Amino acid sequence: MPTPANILKNTFGYDTFLPLQREVIENVLAGRDTLAIMPTGGGKSLCYQIPALLMDGLTLVVSPLIALMKDQVEQLRANGVPAVFLNSTLSPQAYQENMEWVREGSTKLLYVAPETLLTPRIFSLLSSLKLSLLTIDEAHCISEWGHDFRPEYRQLVSVRQRYPQAVCLALTATATPRVRGDIKNSLNFSQSNEFIASFNRENLFIEVVPKSDPTAQTTQFLKRFKDQSGIIYCFSRKQVDELSAYLATKGFSVRPYHAGLEDAERQANQEAFIRDDAQIIVATIAFGMGINKPNVRFVIHYDLPKSIENYYQEIGRAGRDGLPAHCLLLYSYSDVAKLNYFINQKEGEERRVASQHLDAIVRYAEDKTNCRRKPLLAYFGENHTPDNCNNCDNCTTDPPTLTDITIPAQKFLSCVLRTGERFGAAHVTHVLLGSKAEKVLSHGHEKLSTYGIGAELNQKQWMHLSRQLVQLGYLKQDVKFRTLSLTPSGVNALKKRSTILGQLQEAETPAARAKTRTTALEYNQALFDLLRQKRKELADESGVPPYVIFSDKTLVEMSAYYPQSPESLLNISGAGQIKLNKFGDAFLEIIRGFCRQHDLTEQKKDAPRPKTDSGGRTAVIGEAYNAGESIQSLMERYQVRKGTIIQHLERYLADGNSLHSSSALKSLTSTSPEEQQAAAQAFDELGTAFLRPVFDKLGGTINYDELKILRLLYLCAQNQPKNQ
Ligand code: ADP
Ligand code: ZN
């Protein structure tokens, strides 16, 4: 009897389970109803596909995403798993054939849409079979509290009643506690076996950049992702059409996608993207629900999304294969104004909620200090995330320097006061800039002492300043009318002329930083390109998307380890026995040829290579440092702060390398030789694993940042021959 781990390896070609996959699978096999909540890309499919192969009867998979079924079934068949689907897209003849397959018992998995399932035809088909596992995908659709309620889902409980012996597995990527309770109640779960995976998608690099020249910023970004797939989300259909047309003139392989296109065209564009015939899709939020493409390498938000939830769902479509992917949000306050305009057309509760959602995403976008993952994950109830993820803009760049903004802040606060605390930021700014706008003149605001005293900043800078004053608690903003008034601390600051620190936006916002992309594994790009071409050929021959043949991750590993025999190919992630039989030779031939031509040999794939890019980067940074590159230059090259470089160097040492102890390191610390001596003694005594005891021993006289530098110096010295 094979085990789940055997099937994982032999059928699907993977060595290890993703978080909670094993637990969910074992729970299902133990006959317990299970609710599993995992993020997009978390590997939900295997949670029922592996049990399906181990249970003796049929596994029924209910999903509302009709467009995905064909894809899922193709992927399963490519791995030699007998699966079919039944839904309204099939011709009567194909439908009949599939029914026949199921009736004969030649299939292990049957995918159906809920409305199809609830028909007498299917009930009669199922009555002749043993149903072992009932899987409800996108289970949040059962709840009216979810964002995508489907009434048919409510009737699924009748299916449970008909087949009481079948285990039920409910899966979803989004479920608040309320929705979770609802799912379990509606499905009559006897036990409350619930598995909730972390929503932290470690492989996504998350970045927010001020939107200054969005088309230029986008083209510049795209140039770094040559030949790679990505999605650009825009606010409106018009924007989608314009941007995709523009990018096409610049030579990018791009297609538009929105609800205003003819069905056929929209479908064709999506298909082209999935099949790697078009690289980039420019879309409204309508795009993405029905796609399963694992190798989306970037998601750009050209406009501000409406809420954190939308945003997280959309960036979640990147990097489902676990390889690094880049998420860029272009942020400008004028987008906020645009969204506000639409919110103001709503009423009552709906308007209040929409406005709260918008405020949350604005706070997120304007935060330049905290890790981006914190607010995102807090939204899903995960509050214990590390302070530094090393994979977002805020964690990899120095925090912005704060400047003294007392004078402009005074001007602004005082102008708010003088205009009677009855106006929004735009009007106050107009007054400061001495505008002759109708609204200014009609209120007689040109007579105020604050009229025209703010020429040192432009409109944008004033607006940015006003938002900071709200954030810092000097001003408050009326939720409904957006008017500004002073808080007690604002009144106080104005009276006492106390110093206010903040950021002054530069007059010209810098264009997106060019950051080099790194992957989990160093691999041979030329070979990868050849393998990808082959994959595309094979995919087109059999009329399936390329990732049904092999994922990017599989090709990346092939181009890193150069497997030359079927046995070593089996060691590659994602290469199971059936795929090997079908496609192995075609790929091996290319790899062997390439290796011969370039004099390369097979690399052993044993010890798991570093999972994130930081492992590879540690070595690169350590070597560059040893080759004489300065810390300053490393900071600039990788756009990271000093602390991060020091961390890498420490890790480099810990990996068994040595570092040239030199004046470069010594110059990093501002401590005196005596202090360094005392710290070294403390490390001698207390070890280097924890800084807290050392800090305490030194009476708190040396701060942690300094201690980290001194620890590195200490470790370096330990590693040196004594006479150096
Ligand atoms: P979800 O439905 O949760 O979004 P999928 O089931 O589509 O996720 O899986 C996402 C990707 O991860 C797929 O490409 C899948 O083949 C891959 N995957 C799933 N399980 C594993 C595993 N144990 N090891 C490596 N890759 C996996
Ligand atoms: Zn971070």
Are 324 and 517 in contact by the 8 Å Cβ rule? The answer is yes
Q: DSSP for 617-686, please give it.
A: HHHHHHHHHHTT--HHHHHHHHT--HHHHHHHHHHHHHTT------HHHHTT----HHHHHHHHHHHHHH
pLDDT of residue 516: 33
24: Cβ–Cβ under 8 A, 6 or more apart, which residues?
Answer: 34, 36, 47, 169, 195
In this structure, the residue with its CA closest to atom 23 of ligand 1 is 17
What does the H/E/C string look like for 309-363? HHHHHHHCCCCCCCCCEEEEEEECHHHHHHHHHHHCCCCHHHHHHHHHHHHHHHH
Interior/surface letters 57-89, b for 16+ CB within 10 angstroms, e for the rest? bbbbbbbbbbbbbbbbbbbbbbbebebbbbbee
| Phi, psi torsion values for 205, nearest 5 degrees | -85, 125
Predicted TM-score (pTM) of this structure: 0.66
CA of 149 to the centre of ligand 1 (A): 25
CA of 318 to the centre of ligand 2 (A): 17
**Does residue 146 line the site of ligand 1, with CB under 6 A?**
no
Residue type at 267 in one-letter notation: Q
CA of 551 to the centre of ligand 1 (A): 10
Separation of alpha carbons 347 and 527, rounded Å:
58
Handedness of CA 565, 571, 572, 578 (dihedral sign): positive
In this structure, the residue with its CA closest to atom 9 of ligand 1 is 43
**Does residue 48 line the site of ligand 1, with CB under 6 A?**
no
**Closest listed ligand to the CA of 644:** 2
Pairing of strands 475-477, 484-486: antiparallel
Per DSSP, 371 falls in state -
CA of 560 to the centre of ligand 2 (A): 28
**Does residue 550 line the site of ligand 1, with CB under 6 A?**
no
- Cα distances (Å, whole numbers) of residue 310 to 200, 261, 647: 16, 22, 34
In this structure, the residue with its CA closest to atom 25 of ligand 1 is 14
pLDDT of residue 269: 95
pLDDT of residue 520: 55
Within 58-203, strands assigned E span: 58-62, 83-86, 109-112, 131-136, 167-172, 193-196
CA of 627 to the centre of ligand 1 (A): 40
CA of 43 to the centre of ligand 1 (A): 4
The best mutation among 10, 12, 312, 550 to test binding of ligand 1, ranked by most ligand atoms within 8 Å of the C-beta, falls on 12
**Does residue 14 line the site of ligand 1, with CB under 6 A?**
yes
Q: What angle do CA 635, 636, 638 make, to 5 degrees?
A: 70
**Does residue 17 line the site of ligand 1, with CB under 6 A?**
yes
Beta-carbon neighbour count of residue 204 at 10 Å? 25
Q: Which residue has the tokens 């957006």?
A: 482
CA of 388 to the centre of ligand 2 (A): 5
CA of 303 to the centre of ligand 1 (A): 29
Nearest atom in ligand 1 to the alpha carbon of residue 292 is 7
Beta-carbon neighbour count of residue 303 at 10 Å? 23
**Closest listed ligand to the CA of 46:** 1
Are 528 and 551 in contact by the 8 Å Cβ rule? The answer is no
CA of 281 to the centre of ligand 1 (A): 22
Separation of alpha carbons 99 and 601, rounded Å:
50
pLDDT of residue 721: 52
The best mutation among 15, 16, 18, 38 to test binding of ligand 1, ranked by most ligand atoms within 8 Å of the C-beta, falls on 18
Per DSSP, 231 falls in state E
**Does residue 295 line the site of ligand 1, with CB under 6 A?**
no
The best mutation among 9, 14, 72 to test binding of ligand 1, ranked by most ligand atoms within 8 Å of the C-beta, falls on 14
pLDDT of residue 609: 40
Q: Nearest-CA neighbor of 233 among 304, 151, 142, 301?
A: 301
Q: Nearest-CA neighbor of 564 among 599, 583, 590, 539?
A: 590
Beta-carbon neighbour count of residue 452 at 10 Å? 13
Average pLDDT by consecutive 10-residue portion of the chain (724 residues)?
A: 93 93 95 93 95 96 88 93 93 94 93 92 91 95 80 89 93 83 88 85 93 91 92 95 96 95 93 94 84 91 92 92 93 88 88 89 89 88 82 82 88 95 93 92 94 89 88 81 89 90 65 37 86 94 91 92 93 91 94 90 66 59 81 78 83 77 78 88 79 80 85 79 43
Six-digit token pair at 494?
A: 């104005």
In this structure, the residue with its CA closest to atom 15 of ligand 1 is 43
**Does residue 317 line the site of ligand 1, with CB under 6 A?**
no
The best mutation among 46, 323, 554 to test binding of ligand 1, ranked by most ligand atoms within 8 Å of the C-beta, falls on 46
In this structure, the residue with its CA closest to atom 18 of ligand 1 is 43
Are 187 and 141 in contact by the 8 Å Cβ rule? The answer is no
Q: DSSP for 540-593, please give it.
A: HHHTS-HHHH--HHHHHHHHHH---SHHHHHTSTT--HHHHHHHHHHHHHHHHH
Q: DSSP for 416-434, please give it.
A: HHHTTS-S-HHHHHHHHTT
Q: How many CA atoms lie less than 13 Å away from 437 in the CB half-sphere? A: 14
Separation of alpha carbons 419 and 423, rounded Å:
7
